[in-house]
Structure 1
Amino acid sequence: MENQPSPPAQLIKRVAEYRVVCYYTNWAQYRRSPWSYVPENVDPNLCTHVIYAFGNMEDNQLKPYEWNDEDMPWGKGMYSRLKDKLSSARGEVPKILLVVGGWNFGTQPFKNMTSSKDNRKTFIETSVPFLRRHGFDGLDLDWEYPEAEDMENFALLLKASAVEKWIQEGASPSQLVLGIPLYGNSFRLQSSHSTGLYAPVEGLGRGQTFTRQDGFLAYYEVCELLQTGGVRVWDQANMALYMYRDSYWAAYDDEMTIQMKVDWLKNRGLGGAMIWALDFDDFSGSTCSSQPYPLLTAINKALGRNVTEDKPETGHGSWAGGIVLKVLVSVVFLLGLLFCLSSGKVSIISISGCLAQAGSDNVATGSNSENMTLVQNCEGQSPETVINMIFIMMIIPYTITFLRCLWVTGLKDIHPWPTGKALVLMTGMVL
């Protein structure tokens, strides 16, 4: 890298304007605890741009990809939550963009959309209102990858979208950012005795506990391996960093190599760095470093950006705490009611009378005053009817709560459920 010719001096002038482009992935919410990642985990001070991955495209129109991307009747969706979190930045609020495409998206939707003028027109005219409605500042088209016959149509799409003709005429270095991965690529060695560069391999490395993808691991998983017998190796001759543990081998970046890469991009006059992805860094500061986001922080510091890191929030968003609170309050309420039944202070409840006098919404909140109203006005009827009535009044809100929790923790996650979530689910089923 040091043999590269230096760029013109006018290109090395944008230290205060360097861009740090961060990708946020909407499926990281389903990862097992403690590495589940939601908008509240983002540190808005470490990025100049945040790109939300991924959007979907159907019938040449942008669509949400995840069930909770958009706002829901019971709470804000991921779009709104991420925008709220970014608005808490101490300085300039990061721009937020939506990306459509990616490695699993395939090429056919893009081929169909760009194949005719009418299809391109539909996409452009519907995309702008969609982006504005959800507060996005722009759109990232991640077509992986246009085939030879698609390139002309892709260029026509970009031109029709009012994007400058830089793709045709060549971009200046200051318009480019260098991609820096916050993950490693792994292989399974043929022999644990041959562990250097170019060592023979049998295949991809086994997927790790949280990312669960063969040949791939997050930076925090690299740190866990290093802390449990892994060996870090810096190959000075090849300027390469890797680690191995037994027959597991992985190449990755750490704070040292990131500093080197940022020095190179600054020397070449590039406009900044892009990272994939936020959820692969040690965002909690619990494994690789005592501070959150060690790699992303290293990028910012190397670029000369004056940032103060936030302590990211943990957990699964604002609604999770509400579920736990409702469960606990309801358990206390039911135990108290059962105690009254066993002591003989309450013997019968009229379903129709009590529903009319107490109201199902008040009972579901577990308010002490409303619970007393229920008990005082429902004397003289059977204990079995008490339980039936409570079940009827609580079935609707708890069915909704249970289905929401089940969807987030189970239906869309192939991993085992964390104990805490399973406890909430079981309690909800009992209630």
Structure 2
Amino acid sequence: MKLLLPLLGCLAFTLSLTEGVMVCYFGSWAVYRQGDGKFDIEDIDPNICTHLVFGFAGLGQDNKIKVLDPWNELCDNYGKCGYDRFNALKQKNTKLITILAVGGWNEGSAKYSNMAADPAKRKKFVDSSIELLKTHGFDGLDMDWEYPTQRGGKPADKENFILLLADLKEALHANGMLLTAAVSAGKATIDPAYDVPGMAQNLDIVNVMAYDLHGAWDTYTHHQSGLYAHPEDTGDNVYLNQDFAITYWIEKGMPANKITQGVPLYGRCWTLKNGDDTGYYAPAPQPGAAGQYTRTPGFLGYNEARIHVITLLFGLQICEGILNGWTVVNDPAMNEPYIYSLEHGRIWCSYDDEASVKTKAEYAKAHGLAGMMVWSVETDDFKGKCGRPFNLIKTMVETFTGTDITPGPTVAPTTRDPDAPTTKPHTAPPTPPSTEDCLKPGINADPVDCNHYWLCSLNMEGGYDANSEPCAPGTLFNPNAYICDWDHVVCAIPDICPNECA
């Protein structure tokens, strides 16, 4: 009977996919944002996603899975219990599936390459992952290695990634858990990095990150998540669209019903060189100004924009931009809008709106995909300033399933599983005095070195334990956004990282 229960658990997960999958990633660092951009676990609506993915855990030097922000994610030493609170959302919707993502852009590739190449190191990672997932009540693991063979990886990663996935699948399925992965949409990454048939044998869901296809790393405007190619696309740009990516994954051997089509809940933005050309392929050598919430040049959440009016800065939604001197354009050659303003810094942003996410959900359904995926839940219009809260996510769900979203069943207090994780009451401790490395608990910038940041946790002696976390090659720590970001993006912020950006 003990052997049968895990198999029944996996079967239940599989059957739920027939209703349509909505995978929602949660960027946990959004809790550090300011004002209306701050987003914590309790801001998540547990009834709009079938799968919630907590981003991110990492990989330690000991090859065990690593909690990247212990103060925010664990209960120890006055921590905020993020993992347990995240999984407690299942009390509000018993059908909800919670997954812990490991990796992400900040983590880079080199240490995953080293771990995957050694059976003993893989076992350490797998065993520690199962232990962490079970301790906090997660239902699966999302492997977000960005990317095998690249960013410090080795050619052997393509084969070793499959060995790692096979080990994870065996252990996770034995415990009734899912194994998913976030994967690239770019042909230049797919070809060297992925043995697609091998991945198909081991993964339950494949989340295709069909966004960031263009951005401020280009010196011209384009759509970051176009469903189809633009008529003027040539060369490798003809591959940089969602239709090519989804079709290519299927052609290389991934079953369509395992694929979710990723949609961004944010815009990629440029600063136009001049006001003479405001369309696609317009010269734009600089990123757009950072938003007041996400505070990253070239990036605006759907729920923000930053407008420059002489010396006055004020926030508004991208969806409200047209009311504040912005122009919204729906190019007849494309299915997605872009927005620009010549009066407010010559900013130009490509993004998705209600109409375009509906079109993408229709595409996913017509092509027999498992469903949709979003990065990330906290940049949808979660406060409902432009209509109903989380409208983009809800629109995709309703389009794909053909039904309106209804609240899921909750756990009755008398029947709640006694082994389910509980939310430990958070007691605010006395604030310790600042140290050279730690001004506050959680993520802290190093004022003289942007190649890393400090993770500061309270200790039992009433002080801080500081751990240095390196940024991956090609990235620097952005002290405004609390993440390691592209080095050219960080260097576009005035008075940031003078040693690295000189």
Contact map agreement 2:21 2:370 (CA 8 A) in 1: yes
Aligned residue runs from structure 1 range 32-51, under 5 A:
32-51=34-53
Q: Which has the larger strand fraction?
A: 2
Structure 1 counterpart of 2:353, one-letter code: D
Contact map agreement 1:87 1:93 (CA 8 A) in 2: no
Are 2:332 and 1:236 aligned?
Answer: yes
Using the size of structure 1 for normalisation, the TM-score is 0.68
Query: Residues 133-179 of structure 1, C-alpha deviation per residue, up to 9 Å, x if partnerless?
Result: 11111111111111132111111111122369652662321111100
Structure 2 counterpart of 1:97, one-letter code: I
* Distance in 2, Cα, partners of 1:401 & 1:281: 37
Aligned position for 2:281: 198
Aligned position for 2:389: 292
* Distance in 2, Cα, partners of 1:159 & 1:409: 34
Are 2:341 and 1:307 aligned?
Answer: no
**1:104 aligns to what SS in structure 2?**
helix
**1:275 aligns to what SS in structure 2?**
strand
Closer/same/farther in 2, CA of residues 406 and 265 from structure 1, 3 Å limit: same
Contact map agreement 1:32 1:415 (CA 8 A) in 2: no
* Distance in 2, Cα, partners of 1:402 & 1:319: 25
* Distance in 2, Cα, partners of 1:87 & 1:74: 24
Aligned position for 2:86: 82
Q: Determine which of 168, 171, 175 is the counterpart of 1:161.
A: 168
Aligned residue runs from structure 1 range 87-98, under 5 A:
87-89=91-93, 92-98=94-100
Aligned position for 1:209: 292
Contact map agreement 2:72 2:79 (CA 8 A) in 1: no
Contact map agreement 1:186 1:204 (CA 8 A) in 2: yes
**1:283 aligns to what SS in structure 2?**
coil
Contact map agreement 1:176 1:271 (CA 8 A) in 2: yes
Extract unaligned runs of 5+ from structure 1. 1-12, 311-316, 324-396, 417-431
Q: Determine which of 132, 135, 138 is the counterpart of 1:133.
A: 135
Contact map agreement 2:81 2:424 (CA 8 A) in 1: no
Query: Residues 105-141 of structure 1, C-alpha deviation per residue, up to 9 Å, x if partnerless?
Result: 1111201211211111111122111111111111111
Closer/same/farther in 2, CA of residues 88 and 75 from structure 1, 3 Å limit: farther
* Distance in 2, Cα, partners of 1:258 & 1:102: 24
* Distance in 2, Cα, partners of 1:180 & 1:265: 11
**1:258 aligns to what SS in structure 2?**
helix
Are 2:258 and 1:175 aligned?
Answer: yes
* Distance in 1, Cα, partners of 2:17 & 2:283: 43
Are 2:280 and 1:273 aligned?
Answer: no
* Distance in 1, Cα, partners of 2:29 & 2:79: 18
Aligned position for 2:238: none
**1:154 aligns to what SS in structure 2?**
helix
**1:68 aligns to what SS in structure 2?**
helix
Aligned residue runs from structure 1 range 309-324, under 5 A:
none
Structure 2 counterpart of 1:292, one-letter code: P
Aligned position for 1:375: none
Contact map agreement 1:190 1:201 (CA 8 A) in 2: yes
* Distance in 2, Cα, partners of 1:50 & 1:14: 14
Aligned residue runs from structure 1 range 415-430, under 5 A:
415=480
Structure 1 counterpart of 2:161, one-letter code: F
* Distance in 2, Cα, partners of 1:88 & 1:54: 23
Deviation at 1:79, TM superposition (A): 0.7
Contact map agreement 1:86 1:94 (CA 8 A) in 2: yes
* Distance in 1, Cα, partners of 2:443 & 2:147: 33
Contact map agreement 2:108 2:146 (CA 8 A) in 1: yes
**1:145 aligns to what SS in structure 2?**
coil
**2:373 aligns to what SS in structure 1?**
strand
Contact map agreement 1:43 1:309 (CA 8 A) in 2: no
Contact map agreement 2:271 2:288 (CA 8 A) in 1: yes
Are 2:348 and 1:249 aligned?
Answer: yes
Are 2:169 and 1:71 aligned?
Answer: no
Contact map agreement 2:72 2:442 (CA 8 A) in 1: no
Contact map agreement 1:24 1:279 (CA 8 A) in 2: yes
Deviation at 1:237, TM superposition (A): 2.1
Deviation at 1:308, TM superposition (A): 3.7
Moved more, 75-84 or 130-139: 75-84
Aligned position for 1:385: none
Contact map agreement 1:14 1:271 (CA 8 A) in 2: no
Structure (1 or 2) with the larger CA radius of gyration: 1
Q: Which has the larger helix fraction?
A: 1
* Distance in 2, Cα, partners of 1:55 & 1:244: 36
Contact map agreement 1:23 1:53 (CA 8 A) in 2: yes
Deviation at 1:300, TM superposition (A): 1.5
**1:52 aligns to what SS in structure 2?**
strand
* Distance in 1, Cα, partners of 2:29 & 2:393: 20
Contact map agreement 2:272 2:286 (CA 8 A) in 1: yes
Deviation at 1:318, TM superposition (A): 10
Deviation at 1:250, TM superposition (A): 0.6
Extract unaligned runs of 5+ from structure 2. 1-14, 150-154, 171-178, 180-196, 202-252, 305-317, 409-422, 446-454, 456-477, 482-502
Deviation at 1:240, TM superposition (A): 3.5
Query: Residues 323-379 of structure 1, C-alpha deviation per residue, up to 9 Å, x if partnerless?
Result: 7xxxxxxxxxxxxxxxxxxxxxxxxxxxxxxxxxxxxxxxxxxxxxxxxxxxxxxxx
Structure 1 counterpart of 2:113, one-letter code: K
Closer/same/farther in 2, CA of residues 113 and 16 from structure 1, 3 Å limit: closer
Closer/same/farther in 2, CA of residues 209 and 54 from structure 1, 3 Å limit: same
Deviation at 1:215, TM superposition (A): 1.4
* Distance in 2, Cα, partners of 1:74 & 1:305: 43
Query: Residues 31-77 of structure 1, C-alpha deviation per residue, up to 9 Å, x if partnerless?
Result: 01111010100000000000000002111111211122011354651
Moved more, 129-138 or 201-210: 201-210
Aligned residue runs from structure 1 range 386-425, under 5 A:
398-399=430-431, 406-407=440-441, 414-415=479-480
Closer/same/farther in 2, CA of residues 149 and 199 from structure 1, 3 Å limit: same
Deviation at 1:85, TM superposition (A): 2.5
Contact map agreement 2:22 2:51 (CA 8 A) in 1: yes
Contact map agreement 2:262 2:373 (CA 8 A) in 1: yes
**2:54 aligns to what SS in structure 1?**
strand
Query: Residues 262-287 of structure 1, C-alpha deviation per residue, up to 9 Å, x if partnerless?
Result: 1111110111000000111010112x
* Distance in 2, Cα, partners of 1:16 & 1:176: 12
